[in-house]
A and B are shown apart, each in its own frame.
Chain A
């Protein structure tokens, strides 16, 4: 279960950042008063164009960033007051995340298992199970740097699931992957849903959201434009298809802002 209430994040800008962004403003609001819930056994999508605030939101959920204001509960734990405890319950996978190229999958998964405070015997048995499920035994002792993109994706999945998290956060997980490699991620999301885990994933691809999600939140410029179930989204559609409807909602928000 994820509960987000009036969540905001403002970054102060130093001179270098102001120059890079071509602005004179001393701060920028990336997330503005966001509220939504993600329920166990359901997949929630955070949909928005590039720069909408999806990654910042997910980084706050995973406690990498501290919110400027608002409330986050992860599996009943206050993630702002008790971030370490919240992190124990989170599995985080991002499409842009790398892996330690000089380690082997075996070493990497053991390392992360230890970081989550799991006992060696439990790490071993979970590793065996995940390696079997993802067909990783053949390359478990090869350096990650020498693996293919698909193999690396399997290692990332394994790392995300080694501590059996109740909440799984995916930040544009299929970004840069081909259809066959992305299939592993889609399978993982479905498995998590079937196991009753809470899943949230961000994307800017409507077709992916349509395929996987039960609930949808659309954000633009850090603000929540839509938050409901996929059925509700479909039933309220004014455009001929889902992608067109997403674009219509974003454009309507731009017009309102002007």
Chain B
């Protein structure tokens, strides 16, 4: 009987355009769209920043060595234009209106500093909202500074190497897979959880509040099917919808990588291939299943109690933020799965997935996280059963 209810509810759900959009269309498109925008925007920003001709305002006496060096900077360091400015106030005003991108103030006695072999106090003005301008100023000034430093070494007859007491060689023992897992591994479970929640939302409201609102629940309850079987059949569809939404977001990711070739870096691509193995996907679904049941178990009592679709939606939608916010903890590199975090719902699944991606999983912690979610999912199923069994909740 559960199977009959499940099949009917699934058919009904798949004919609902709103649910199909939330369950299949949006999760499938989200990764290709986000990655396309990210890749397109970041590459165009880089190209634009590199090609941009930078106007450098120069406030000085026009005679110093430093100024001459600035004027003779090689073109390979980027296009530039030196504009003389009379005072720093005018320079700041020009920076604010974007007629200048960098402003330099060189003191009148700059050459005296050079003669005394002292550091020239150069003031650099820039607008931090203009991406890459501080870096461009550093490139120009470091080039000049290195040139002048080398001259001083020659003048002072010092071998530059004698001033370097240590040669530091760092070796990163973490694999690329671990690096991605620890630093970016939170993104994947976050998206899975967000879509798992959204995938559950519309079917939960439609199959419980919707039935009540449309007046179909009353006839269903007059059939000789026990209420718990009706609940399990309907809940099965809600959970399946959540898992389907997560699956389609994974397919979207796969499509972006394999078909649209949005990841250009071959090394990164190899690492991603190494992560997305059938074993990893199977383990991830094991973790996601109790979490999705937990989501369904939270939504169903609300949907059962609500009198209208609007009321249910107005309560469940904000809940999305409460549920998905803890998932963002996974974004922070320092937060790891331990005996405490393994007991926190949602957070534990995000962190466990991160460990899975990084390949640094500790089975006992994963077992605690999985067990916690199973326990909470069971508890929420029991709450759903109680609410669905209450006669005042099921009919308006």
Contacts and interface: CB of A to CB of B under 8 A. Distances in A.
Interface of A: 11, 59, 62-66, 84-85, 87-88, 90, 92, 94, 96-103, 107, 111-112, 114-117, 159
Contacts of B1: 114-115, 117
A97 B8 contact: no
A138 B232 CA distance: 35
Interface string B181-221: 00000000000000000000000000000000011101111
B392 to A, nearest CB: 7
Interface in B1-58: 1, 4-5, 8, 11-12, 15-16
A97 B215 contact: yes
B222 to A, nearest CB: 4
For the complex of A and B, 8 pairs with smallest distance between CB atoms = A98-B214, A98-B215, A92-B222, A102-B15, A115-B223, A87-B224, A84-B224, A97-B215
Contact of B216 (A62, A92, A100): A100
B225 interface: yes
A100 B210 CA distance: 10
Nearest to B221: A64
B4 A116 contact: no
A96 B219 CA distance: 10
Contacts of A94: 215, 218-219
B333 interface: no
Contact of A115 (B225, B391, B394): B225
Contact of A11 (B220, B224, B226, B392): B392
A85 B394 CA distance: 21
Contacts of B8: 100, 103, 107, 111
A100 to B, nearest CB: 6
Q: Looking at chain B, what size class is its interface with the partner chain?
A: 20 to 34
Contacts of A112: 219, 223
A116 B224 contact: yes
Nearest to B396: A96
Contacts of B223: 87, 112, 115-116
B5 to A, nearest CB: 8
B395 interface: yes
A13 B224 CA distance: 29
Nearest to B218: A97
A113 to B, nearest CB: 10
Contacts of A102: 11-12, 15-16
B261 to A, nearest CB: 39
Give the secondary structure class of B's interface.
helix
Nearest to A145: B15
Contacts of B394: 64
A115 B218 CA distance: 14
B295 to A, nearest CB: 24
Contacts of A84: 224-226
Nearest to A83: B224
Interface string B129-167: 000000000000000000000000000000000000000
B222 A101 contact: no
A117 B229 CA distance: 14
A179 to B, nearest CB: 22
A90 B222 contact: yes
A97 B221 CA distance: 12
A94 B11 CA distance: 25
Contact of B11 (A66, A103, A114): A103
A116 to B, nearest CB: 6
A59 B215 contact: no
Contacts of B220: 115
14 contacts: A59-B218, A59-B395, A62-B222, A64-B394, A64-B395, A87-B224, A92-B222, A97-B218, A100-B12, A100-B216, A103-B12, A111-B8, A115-B1, A159-B219
A62 B214 CA distance: 19
B219 A97 contact: yes
Q: Chain A CB within 10 Å — which of B1, B4, B214, B218 has the most? A: B218
Nearest to B223: A115
B203 to A, nearest CB: 13
Contacts of B391: 64-66
A18 to B, nearest CB: 13
Contacts of B215: 94, 96-98
A11 B392 CA distance: 8
Contacts of B395: 59, 64
B6 to A, nearest CB: 12
Nearest to B214: A98
Interface in B226-252: 226
Contact of A64 (B4, B11, B15, B222): B222
A98 B11 contact: no
Contacts of A107: 8, 11
